[in-house]
């Protein structure tokens, strides 16, 4: 573990989170730990995260939670940045782990997807017949990638989304240097 991490005594360990090609459902699940979030902020500080709306990293973090895979170039840049700034990266949820719902487009050529969304779809009103293009819109990737195909991922939390209890258990274990062994009941989904 890096010297900036929880090995040092003084500062609280920092946790960063991000939502890439995901639906924010996994972040909802983080909030679902309810009042335990008060315990959490006792022992950690949130760094870059939608929870506190920090847009850039403040410091090196111990844990980074990744929701969603990569569907565009911006996702890739963010994820690569997370890899640099976090000692431990966790793929949270099925989108990060396997691509999930966004990856359903992987069997369809990108152009066909965009035409369906912006031109040909039955509910589309688009008199110009053009696919929106702007240099500020990040380029989509040819396919949607799970996080571990872009950077090294240390842990995977399955679920869509993983339950608040599973997230809590995993995070507590990671922060206390315990082995992350979730009981079957926390990762069983049918």
Partner 1 sequence: MSEDLTARVSAICGEYGSDAGRMMDIAWRLQRTFGEVSSEAMDVIASETGATRADVESCVSFYSFFSTHKHGRVVIRLSNDVPDRMAGYHRVLGAFEDELGVKCGETTEDGAFTLESTACVGLSDQAPAALINDVPFTELSTDDAREIVRELRKHMDPRRLVHKLGDGNNAHPLIHSMVHNNLRGTGLTLFTSYNRGEAIQKALSMSPVEVIRAVKTARLRGRGGAGFPTGMKWEFTRGARGEPKFIICNADEGEPGTFKDRVLLTERSDRVFAGLTIAGYAIGASEGIVYLRAEYAYLRSFLEAQLEKRRADGLLGESILGHEAFDFDIRIQMGAGAYVCGEETALISSCEGTRGDPKNRPPFPAQEGYLGLPTSVNNVETLCCVAKILEMGPATFCEYGTHQSSGTKLLSISGDVCQPGIYEVPFGTTLREVLEMSEAEDPVAVQVGGPSGQLVGPEDFDREICFDDLATGGSMIVFGPDRDLLKVVEAFMDFFVEESCGYCTPCRIGNVLLRDAVTRVRQRQMEPADIDEMERLAGTVARTSRCGLGQTSPNPILSTLKNFRHLYDELVEEAPDGQRRSFDLDAEVTAAAAIAGRPDGE
Rounded to whole angstroms, the Cα distance separating 2 from 30 reads: 25
- The least CB distance from residue 168 to ligand SF4, in Å, is 16
Distance in Å from the first CA to the final CA of the chain: 36
- Compute the C-alpha angle 79/35/172, nearest 5°: 50
Contacts with 88 (C-beta within 8 Å, 6 or more apart), sequence order: 62, 63, 64, 154, 155, 174
- Any contact of residue 152 with partner 1 (CB under 8 A)? yes
- Any contact of residue 12 with partner 1 (CB under 8 A)? no
Work out which of 59, 120, 149, 178 binds partner 1, going by CB under 8 A.
Answer: 149
- Any contact of residue 80 with partner 1 (CB under 8 A)? yes
Residue 12 binding: pick among ligand SF4, partner 1, none (C-beta 5-8 Å cut-off by kind): none
Work out which of 9, 38, 56, 133 binds partner 1, going by CB under 8 A.
Answer: 133
Give whichever of 59 and 73 is closer to partner 1, judged by the CB atom: 73
For 143, list phi and psi in degrees, rounded to 5: -140, 165
Q: Are 140 and 112 in contact (CB under 8 A)?
A: no
Give whichever of 33 and 117 is closer to partner 1, judged by the CB atom: 117
- The least CB distance from residue 94 to ligand SF4, in Å, is 4
Rounded to whole angstroms, the Cα distance separating 83 from 61 reads: 10
Interface residues with partner 1 (CB under 8 A) are 72-73, 76, 80, 83-84, 89, 109-111, 114, 131, 133, 135, 137, 139-143, 145, 148-152
């Amino acid at each position: 573990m890096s010297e900036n991490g929880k090995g040092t005594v003084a500062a609280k360990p920092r946790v960063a989170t991000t939502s890439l090609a995901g639906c924010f459902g996994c972040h909802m699940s983080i909030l679902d730990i309810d009042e335990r979030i008060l315990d959490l902020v006792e022992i950690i500080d949130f760094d870059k995260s939608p929870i506190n709306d920090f847009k850039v990293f403040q410091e090196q973090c111990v844990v980074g939670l990744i929701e969603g895979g990569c569907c565009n170039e911006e996702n890739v840049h963010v994820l690569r940045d997370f890899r640099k700034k976090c000692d431990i990266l966790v793929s949270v949820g099925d989108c990060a782990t396997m691509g999930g719902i966004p990856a359903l487009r992987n069997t369809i050529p990108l152009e066909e997807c965009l035409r369906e969304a912006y031109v040909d779809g039955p509910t589309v009103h688009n008199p110009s017949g053009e696919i929106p293009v702007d240099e500020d819109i990040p380029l989509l990737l040819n396919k949607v990638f799970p996080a571990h195909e872009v950077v090294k991922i240390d842990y995977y939390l399955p679920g869509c989304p993983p339950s608040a209890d599973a997230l809590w258990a995993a995070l507590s274990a990671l922060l206390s240097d315990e082995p992350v062994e979730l009981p079957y009941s926390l990762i069983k989904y049918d």
